[in-house]
Structure 1
Amino acid sequence: MQTLKKHSIYALGYLLLIALLGMALRLFQLVELPFDYRFLVHTHSHVALLGWVYTALTTLIYKSYLSNASIHKKYQNLFWFTQATIVGMLLTFPFTGYALFSIIFSTLFLFASYFFMWLFLKYTSEKQKEAHSYKCIRISLCYMAISSIGPWALGIIMNTAGSGSDLYRNAIYFYLHFQYNGWFIIALLGLFLYILEQREINLPQKTFRPFFWMINLGVVLTFGISLLWMKPHFTIYIFSAIGSILQLLAMGVLMKSLYALSEKLKQATTKLFFFLMELVALLFLMKLIFQLIGTIPYFALVISSNIDLIIGYLHWTFLGVISTAILAFLSQFKLIHLTKRTVILYLIGFFLTEALLFYKGLTVWLKTSLATDYLWYLAAASSILLLGIINIFINQFRKTTGN
């Protein structure tokens, strides 16, 4: 347990680091900084996905499914190898961008992630494999492996079609889609079901089966949304819309079942965890609605040319749905200490930055004027988010903390 707590603190360290990098990216438009903006964006995104989320999710999965499998040494060796690749990316991307050494570290990370997937598939018990939660985690790891087709393809595309080609852009979108909507989201759903199962709160098969198939078919079909910037054949819009509707239906099926079990869940978990799960459910529902709106041809065109709406949506998913859920799960598993005060500060910063990002996106779409000091407001909101994350991180080193 102590080892996994340390791993969780390392994950929080990456969250703090990406918050600092995010703050630096905000300040680029206000002051002159001695960095290459594009290289810093690469660093920010890689540490966010591979440092914070990957480290936290694999720690939670190991704690839930593999901690009793007598593979501690293998996992420890893999963990430190993985951290070496992440630190390698952290030390190379800011100075070189996509170049020899950053690509080497990225490639080694992919091999480490494949090995973690192998450990999970090999060492989970037959009893564990019967659980609904296991099926979600297993397919989420499959999405993780599928997403890596994008990075593998980039090398070939750069040497043939070039980095300015549609193929290059689509390979990145392929990777991001199956990371965010496949690996991250489905893994979090699996971990949530695991928490329910440990408290003998089980979804009926008649609920889980349609939920599972609709949510996963939706993951595959909604990749089409990532292609809409190209104005593809109308069938891509239809498939994307079908995928979005399927995921909304899956959410409805799950929520209907959970509503009937809400009292049992409330009694089996902390008030803070229950509140965060309600919030995550609302944020995820909004994400699915945004997703469906994005399949409408007019809005697909508006969004694809509006960087602020795109960043707002990505941050809504990453900081709102994914990161909030991870913090709640780490706290529920007693791997980190989370308080109401730090959570509220984090959420205030999150909602303020989202409001400002979507505000600018709307002004661009409607061609209206932007507030004169908008960039300072955004920097101030980002600083509140950063303070929330700093407080969450510092709390892990306090012997006694209040609520």
Structure 2
Amino acid sequence: MKINQLLKVGLYNLVIVAILGVIMRYKIGFELPIVNQKNLQLAHSGFAFSGFISIVIMSLMVKTNLKWLSASQIKFLEIQISLSLFSAYIACIALIFWGYGVFSVVFQVAGLLFNMLYIIAFIKTLHQHPNKDTANWYKAAGIFFFISVFASFWLIYMLFSGNKTQHSYLGATYWFLHFQYNGWFFFACIGLFFQWLDQMNIDTKLNRTTFLYFAISCIPAYGLSALWLNLPVWMYVLVVISAILQCIGVIKFFSIVFNKRVVNAIHQNPVVKLLFIFSFGALLVKILLQMGSTIPFLSKLAFGFRPIVIAYLHLVLLAFTALFLIAYTHLTAGLNFSKAAILATKVFAIFVILNEMVLGVQGIASLSYQVIPFVNEALLIIAGGMLFASVVMMPSSQKIGQKLS
């Protein structure tokens, strides 16, 4: 498929993620014996990563760099994205019906390998990039993807060997999540944002400084997800320093975001303005929560209660990453929206924030072992709202224009 088609398909895969989310929420509150909840959860999270977020990111990375990519380079990258997309579909189906097994793992590994081939090929093209500071974000995103893959193979080894402990399983899981969320997703998104600033000829003197704060802190920041392991003092100090560096990094980043020219450009599109407010707001909350998690007592509470973990994961994946990518596509890729689609996009964003608020309340209540009345029903309604909005906001009649090409 061509890059425009791949971008479209990646966006529409959000609908599949939403469908799986609705079924999961329904299963929690009501009888649905035909569905295996654990399998559905694996399919939901796996496809959100590989079928939606990664496909959209890789497509946008190609589309934003069309001017200096050769036809053969574009073709190779399109093939890798297409193969990764195909693998994501098969893995999703396999997980739904059979769970974690040989069939699903084969296609999950295949998808990872295609992504790795894409990243290697894309990084090789970055010597052509006119802004080396922006190119560094893409390079770091790719490197952190490779680092996250180590955990995937370790989890697969534990699955088939039976050589698994609670600590090793959680450590590998959090390793994968950290370097996907805070590495691959985050650095790719911020790289895309700086790419847009470059195209707008907006001064980005703080680009390199901002990058260094986040890049230096990313690896030690994994410790924020492993404080429950009772780390030695020197390692704990390193983790705290990484959290402080990320706080400084986000301050630098927001000083760029609040540049008058950036604000004026974003304000020209009300939908983009709303999505960026929510997305960057979620980023700020994420950084502050990470800083707070350096307090051992709070860290043990957070990682000891599943609702809090779920709320945090949705904060990063949906509220920051998904809303950013949707906003960025609207801002740069020339989508033609009907009035209904524009309204649906706003509604989707509002439901995302509502979902996060309810999950947050549920998580806080779980600390005192309190049950919030009708919380599961509320989350089901919100999930249904997100599903409906996701369908309406991306009708098949929309065409992706050529603003980036």
TM-score of the aligned structures, taking structure 2 as reference length: 0.90
CA distance in 2: counterparts of 1:87 and 1:48, whole angstroms: 11
Amino acid across the alignment from 1:208:
N
1:241 aligns with 2:243: no
After the TM superposition, which of the residue ranges 25-34 and 191-200 deviates more from structure 2?
A: 25-34
TM-score of the aligned structures, taking structure 1 as reference length: 0.91
Amino acid across the alignment from 1:304:
F
1:11 aligns with 2:7: no
The 1:99–1:299 alpha-carbon spacing in structure 2 relative to 1, beyond 3 Å, is: same
The Cα shift of 1:267 comes to 3.8
What does residue 224 of structure 2 align with? 225
CA distance in 1: counterparts of 2:321 and 2:371, whole angstroms: 33
CA distance in 2: counterparts of 1:110 and 1:264, whole angstroms: 35
Structure 1 unaligned residues grouped into runs of 5+: none
Aligned residues: 392
The Cα shift of 1:252 comes to 0.9
After the TM superposition, which of the residue ranges 384-393 and 158-167 deviates more from structure 2?
A: 158-167
What does residue 270 of structure 1 align with? 268
What does residue 98 of structure 1 align with? 100
1:47 aligns with 2:47: yes
1:286 aligns with 2:285: yes
What does residue 65 of structure 1 align with? 65
The Cα shift of 1:398 comes to 5.4
What does residue 256 of structure 1 align with? 255
Structure 2 unaligned residues grouped into runs of 5+: 400-405
The Cα shift of 1:340 comes to 3.7
What does residue 28 of structure 2 align with? 29
The 1:87–1:159 alpha-carbon spacing in structure 2 relative to 1, beyond 3 Å, is: closer
The Cα shift of 1:241 comes to 2.1
What does residue 350 of structure 2 align with? 348
What does residue 303 of structure 2 align with? 304
CA distance in 1: counterparts of 2:262 and 2:27, whole angstroms: 49
The Cα shift of 1:80 comes to 2.4
After the TM superposition, which of the residue ranges 107-116 and 338-347 deviates more from structure 2?
A: 338-347
Task: Answer whether contact 2:56 2:325 (CA < 8 A) is retained.
Answer: yes
Task: Answer whether contact 1:66 1:120 (CA < 8 A) is retained.
Answer: no
The Cα shift of 1:214 comes to 0.9
The 1:264–1:159 alpha-carbon spacing in structure 2 relative to 1, beyond 3 Å, is: closer
1:245-288 per-residue CA deviation (whole Å, 9 max, x = no partner) reads 111101112222443x3235524773233443333222211110
1:121-172 per-residue CA deviation (whole Å, 9 max, x = no partner) reads 223343x164321111111111111110111122333455634431122111
What does residue 126 of structure 2 align with? 124
1:105-131 per-residue CA deviation (whole Å, 9 max, x = no partner) reads 1111121011101221223343x1643
Give the secondary structure class of the aligned counterpart of 1:393.
coil
Task: Answer whether contact 2:347 2:389 (CA < 8 A) is retained.
Answer: yes
The 1:268–1:166 alpha-carbon spacing in structure 2 relative to 1, beyond 3 Å, is: closer
Task: Answer whether contact 1:348 1:384 (CA < 8 A) is retained.
Answer: no
What does residue 76 of structure 2 align with? 74
After the TM superposition, which of the residue ranges 72-81 and 322-331 deviates more from structure 2?
A: 72-81
Give the secondary structure class of the aligned counterpart of 2:64.
helix
After the TM superposition, which of the residue ranges 179-188 and 268-277 deviates more from structure 2?
A: 268-277
CA distance in 1: counterparts of 2:336 and 2:290, whole angstroms: 33
1:286-336 per-residue CA deviation (whole Å, 9 max, x = no partner) reads 110111111211111111111111111110111110001100111122254
Amino acid across the alignment from 1:282:
G
Amino acid across the alignment from 2:304:
S
Task: Answer whether contact 1:136 1:186 (CA < 8 A) is retained.
Answer: yes
Task: Answer whether contact 1:133 1:193 (CA < 8 A) is retained.
Answer: yes
CA distance in 2: counterparts of 1:222 and 1:149, whole angstroms: 17
What does residue 213 of structure 2 align with? 214
**2:367 counterpart (365, 368, 376):** 365
CA distance in 2: counterparts of 1:302 and 1:178, whole angstroms: 22
Amino acid across the alignment from 1:325:
F
After the TM superposition, which of the residue ranges 141-150 and 61-70 deviates more from structure 2?
A: 61-70
What does residue 403 of structure 2 align with? none
The Cα shift of 1:222 comes to 1.3
After the TM superposition, which of the residue ranges 89-98 and 193-202 deviates more from structure 2?
A: 89-98
CA distance in 2: counterparts of 1:268 and 1:390, whole angstroms: 25
Amino acid across the alignment from 1:62:
V
Task: Answer whether contact 2:343 2:393 (CA < 8 A) is retained.
Answer: no
Q: Which runs of 4+ in 1 moved over 6 A?
A: none
The 1:232–1:56 alpha-carbon spacing in structure 2 relative to 1, beyond 3 Å, is: same
The 1:378–1:274 alpha-carbon spacing in structure 2 relative to 1, beyond 3 Å, is: closer
1:67-88 per-residue CA deviation (whole Å, 9 max, x = no partner) reads 6421233233323222221111
Amino acid across the alignment from 1:21:
L
CA distance in 2: counterparts of 1:140 and 1:172, whole angstroms: 19
CA distance in 1: counterparts of 2:26 and 2:148, whole angstroms: 32
The 1:98–1:392 alpha-carbon spacing in structure 2 relative to 1, beyond 3 Å, is: same
1:157-168 maps to which residues of 2 (within 5 A)?
Answer: 157-158=158-159, 162-168=163-169
The 1:81–1:335 alpha-carbon spacing in structure 2 relative to 1, beyond 3 Å, is: farther
Give the secondary structure class of the aligned counterpart of 2:226.
helix
1:327-364 per-residue CA deviation (whole Å, 9 max, x = no partner) reads 01111222544554122211221122112111111111
The 1:94–1:159 alpha-carbon spacing in structure 2 relative to 1, beyond 3 Å, is: closer
The 1:81–1:159 alpha-carbon spacing in structure 2 relative to 1, beyond 3 Å, is: closer
CA distance in 1: counterparts of 2:142 and 2:153, whole angstroms: 17
Between the aligned residues of both structures, percent identity stands at 20
1:184 aligns with 2:185: yes
After the TM superposition, which of the residue ranges 305-314 and 233-242 deviates more from structure 2?
A: 233-242
